Amino acid sequence: MYIHPRLENCRRIFIRDYRLDMEIGAYPHEKNKSQYVAVNIEFWVPLEWNTPVHDDIEEIVNHDFVRPGIQQIVSRGHINLQETLCDAIVDLVLSHPKVIATRVSTEKREVYADCACAGVEVFKFKEQRA
């Protein structure tokens, strides 16, 4: 597995298969229809970062920061494209002061009859954040 040189001295944290039930899709038949979207979130923090209260930074960032932010994104209503969802989650995670880079991938099932699923992946370093 390739690791970017800037991430060699970082700790990788991975939130696997975070499941969202939301209105997403650009096709007319997807409007006002809630769909299952699987989200994988990877992010990197400096190895030396330790929090004073908890040793497990995955718990802190996963539950206290990432999940509430994603719920705010979902609560805004219909999202046309998975790219929009990925970009919003990437920017959310990169807004954490200790996160150096993040990768978000989404997969939507049952898109239409001849396509079982569709996926999108976005990777950014903090300075690339919009």
42 φ/ψ angles, rounded to the nearest 5 degrees? -120, 135
CATH fold of 5-128 reads: GTP Cyclohydrolase I, domain 2 (3.30.1130)
What is the sign of the dihedral through the CA atoms of 16, 93, 108 and 77? positive
Per DSSP, 126 falls in state G
Stated pTM of the model: 0.81
Residue extents of the structural domains in the chain: 5-128
For every one of its 130 residues, what pLDDT tens digit does the chain have, with 9 covering 90 and above?
A: 577 888 988 888 888 888 888 887 777 777 777 778 888 999 998 887 665 545 556 666 666 788 888 888 888 877 878 888 899 999 999 998 889 999 999 887 666 666 656 788 899 999 876 5
Rounded to the nearest 10 degrees, what angle do helices 67-75 and 82-94 cross at?
140
